Amino acid sequence: MGRYLTRRVLQFIPVFLGATLLIFIMVWIIPGDPIRALAGDRAMPESVRAALTEEYNLDKPAWQQYWLYISGVFQGDFGTDFRGRPVSELMGQRIPITARLAILAFGFEVIIGIAAGIVAGVRKGNYLDNLVLTSTLVVIAIPIFVLGFLAQLLLGVQFPIFPVAGIREGWFSYLLPALVLGSVSLAYIARLTRAALVENLRADYVRTATSKGLSRLRVVGVHTLRNSMIPVVTFLAIDLGALMGGAIITETIFNIPGIGRAVFEGVQRQEGTVVVGIVTFLVFIYLIANLVVDVLYAVLDPRIRYE
Amino acid sequence: MSDRVAITGDIELPDEHVDEATEDRVASLWGDAWRALIRKPIFVISALLILIMMVMAVFPGLFTSKDPRSCPLSEALQTPSAEHWFGTDVQGCDYYARTIYGARVSITIGLIVTTFALTIALVGGSISGYYGGIVDTLIARVTDMWFAIPTILGGIVILALFQNRGVAQVSLVLIVLGWPTMLRLVRSSVISVKETEYVDSARALGATDFRIITRHILPNSLAPVIVYATITVGVVIAAEAALSFLNVGLQLPAISWGLMISTAQNRILTSPHLLFFPGAVLSITVFSFILMGDALRDALDPKLR
């Protein structure tokens, strides 16, 4: 286990550096001169221009820029945007908002998704099973931004239960966006849980448990469910990536000033430091989540061994 | 012949039935799957819907005689009527015609991206899975790096680089971000097949690596990949629409469902039909491909029978 962990962490480092380098290269070859754009219509004195170019390391070769940047990141310095505000300050403001949205969405996914999956899986083929299968397929098929507008129109405008947009009403205003954000993954989790449960309920150890005289609740809830959670946990980690993309769309629809909107605005304004900073941070989170899941396997399934 | 009749237990079987039974016996996985598929209503429905979308993409003129680009401003923002089935948009264009013509970019991007990503995945995945060792490690790490960039997030970052974004640029970006998942799938599928006896015997007979991979390994590891590729077409179509919706995908005057929804979002209160129709057609298209993938999985995976 210890050796496995070390190897996984060592693998994580080049992957993280590689992915961030890819993003860095892509963003910094955005055509256009951000320093000139800063000056607007008026011409900028050559000395100021040179000073700014040097300050942002734009005169150095790309690999050196990357190295200076990434070593700064590990010291918590994400650089400044072109108006002199530290990117970490912007992130500090925006991340809690998106985190709240994502935690709620994750909660919806896990609780409703797994519950629906269990309900469908324990009695394969009955009407509840078919209901779950059909409704999840419909949710998966509707693109998230169509679903977002539908929810906004129905539950925000036609039947004004939830606020239409913005975050003025605290946690309550996050509910609808979070449900929309989590909906597709919720459907996947329900289907995954169901499929795993159906397959595992046929396993020998389940028959043994049943013939030992254990209650149905214990057989399904403890013995089967634990092994059925493996594909779900894997999915949750991969899903974090989709959640980030979804957050950009959901935050646009519901006008939530989170990190997704910040990336989007950064791209529109050609603010490389903002885009690279946030995307680097998100990739980091994403990779950490995948690392945690790999370790969680061992806890969930004793059959998985590490050499 | 008489033996077979005895096996089926039906003495009065006419000759043609016997022939069918013989055919069944030599049938491959694909033959079995095909026979299971055409009996499934889900498969037939999704295949029909996809066929309609394809025809719509190639010959939009069959569905509407109106020109989606002739837009009399005097007819702007009409609700659906006999004259304009889906109403008109803010510039007075016939919305039904625009929805029909929108199928072309969606289907094109969906198919192009899936084909190219699949090709990269098949080549990379079979090399990685078949040879293993240092090649495998190298390919796996590069895949991991790309895999670490979420699709929509990466799409926004890369697409912002292009001043003019057409079908080619959007497809390119979605290919670049889409292949890693597929490659991992091919790789694991190839690994599970390469230890089988028939691969050993092919090697013992002196077959080249290329022949073993293309004739023995790939055909037998293709089933899960085909299922995933079918679903990917739907996912790609949704991703294109999402990027266009965020204004980093296709640009006007292109006709695309994502763009239509993006334009409609400012008027969802006054003209909800502008959001509804492209949204519905987009959903149906994505739905068909996912449904088709589901039906294929049921037919190709003997474990689920």
Question: What structural domains and CATH numbers belong to chain B?
Answer: 5-304 (1.10.3720.10)
Min Cα separation B158/chain A (Å): 6
A144 chain-B contacts, CB cut-off 8 A:
242
Q: Is residue A220 part of a domain?
A: yes
Q: How many helices (H) and strands (E) does chain A have?
A: 13, 0
**Chain A contact for B92 (CB, 8 A cutoff):** no
Record: contact B283-A146, CB cut-off 8 A: yes
CB contact under 8 A, B290 and A137: yes
Instruction: Tell me the β-bridge partners of A80.
Output: A86
Residue A264 near chain B (CB below 8 Å): yes
A-chain residues within 8 Å CB-CB of B294? 137
In a mutagenesis test of the A interface, which of B139, B152, B161 is the best target, namely the one with the most A β-carbons within 10 Å?
B152
Residue A60 has what pLDDT? 67
A286 within some domain? no
Yes or no, beta carbons of B241 and A14 under 8 Å apart: no
DSSP B88: B
Nearest-by-Cβ selection for B279 from A14, A31, A146: A146
Q: Residue-wise over A228-237: b if at least 16 C-beta within 10 A, else e?
A: bbbebbbbbb
Q: Which residue of A has its CA nearest to B303?
A: A199
pLDDT at residue number B20: 46
Q: Is A267 on the interface with B (CB under 8 A)?
A: yes
CB contact (8 A) between residue A143 and residue B241: yes
Banded pLDDT at B23 (limits 50, 70, 90): very low
Residues 225-244, chain B, touching A (beta carbon < 8 A): 234, 238, 241-242
**Joined tokens for residue B195:** 């230890």
Distance separating alpha carbons of residues B192 and B184, to the nearest angstrom: 12
Question: Total domain count for chain A?
Answer: 1
Q: What is the pLDDT of residues A67-88, one digit of tens each?
A: 777 777 777 777 777 677 777 7
Q: B121 CB contacts (<8 Å, ≥6 apart)?
A: B179, B182, B183, B185, B186, B225
Residues of chain B contacting A279 with CB distance shorter than 8 Å: 149, 153, 157
Interface probe for A, chosen from B53, B109, B147, B157 (most Cβ of A below 10 Å), is B157
- Where chain A has pLDDT below 70, the residues are 1, 27-44, 52-53, 55-62, 82, 166-169, 272, 298-307
Instruction: Report yes or no on A77 lying in a domain.
Output: no
Percent of chain B with pLDDT over 90: 2
pLDDT per position as a tens digit, B189-243: 888 887 888 888 888 888 888 888 888 888 777 777 888 888 888 888 888 888 8
Cβ of A125 under 8 Å from any chain B Cβ?
no
Q: Is B49 on the interface with A (CB under 8 A)?
A: no
Residue A5 in any domain: the answer is: no
> In A63-94, which positions are buried (b, 16+ CB within 10 angstroms) versus exposed (e)?
eebbeebbeebeeeebbbbbeeebbbebbeeb
Would you state the structure tokens that stand for residue A214, as one six-digit string?
């254990």
The distance of A10 to chain B (nearest Cα, Å) reads 12
pLDDT tier for residue B147 given thresholds of 50, 70 and 90: confident
Residue from the list B158, B248, B279 with its beta carbon closest to the beta carbon of A26: B158
Q: How far apart are CA B282 and CA A95, in angstroms?
A: 32
Residue among A143, A263, A279 whose CB faces B283 most closely = A143
Q: Read off the pLDDT of each residue in B72-99 and give the average, rounded to a whole number.
A: 71
Distance separating alpha carbons of residues B244 and B267, to the nearest angstrom: 17
Work out the mean pLDDT of chain B and round it to a whole number: 77
> What span, in angstroms and rounded, lies between the C-alpha atoms of B41 and A213?
41
**B153, B228, B233: which to substitute to probe chain A, counting the most A Cβ within 10 Å?**
B153
Contacts of A270 in chain B (CB under 8 A): 160
A19 contact residues in B (CB cutoff 8 A):
145-146, 148-149
pLDDT at A303: 62
Pick from A19, A246, A275: CB nearest B149:
A19
Nearest to B241 by CA among B151, B157, B115: B151
Report which residue type is found at A91. M
Q: Would you call A265 an interface residue with chain B, using a CB distance cutoff of 8 Å? A: no
- Does A31 sit within 8 Å of B161, measured CB to CB? yes
Neighboring chain A residues of B234 at a CB cutoff of 8 Å: 141
Span A144-170, pLDDT tens digits: 888 888 888 887 777 777 777 766 667
Residue B300 has pLDDT above 80, yes or no: no
Mind telling me how many Å the CA of B291 is from chain A's nearest CA? 8
Question: Does A30 sit within 8 Å of B283, measured CB to CB?
Answer: no
**Which residue, A19, A238, A253, is CA-closest to B268?**
A253
Mean pLDDT, range B173-182, rounded to an integer: 87
Assigned domain for A224 exists: yes
Confidence at residue B302, expressed as pLDDT on a 0 to 100 scale: 58
Q: Give the distance from residue A146's alpha carbon to the nearest chain B alpha carbon, in angstroms.
A: 6
Going by C-alpha positions, the residue among A245, A277, A237, A212 that lies closest to residue A79 is: A277
Q: What is the CATH number of the domain that holds A154?
A: 1.10.3720.10
Q: Is the pLDDT of residue B116 over 90?
A: yes
Residue B12 has pLDDT above 50, yes or no: no
Asked whether residue A307 is assigned to any structural domain, the reply reads no
Q: Is B150 on the interface with A (CB under 8 A)?
A: yes
Instruction: Point out the residue among B149, B246, B286 whose CB comes nearest to the CB of A141.
Output: B286
B21 in A contact zone (CB under 8 Å): no
User: Looking at residue A29, what is its pLDDT?
Assistant: 62
Domain span holding position A203: 94-268
Listed in sequence order, the residues at least 6 apart from A62 whose beta carbon sits closer than 8 Å to its beta carbon are: A24, A25, A28
Is residue A167 a part of any domain in this protein?
Answer: yes
Q: pLDDT value at position B232?
A: 86
**Is pLDDT above 60 for B5?**
no
Q: Is the pTM of this model over 0.90?
A: no
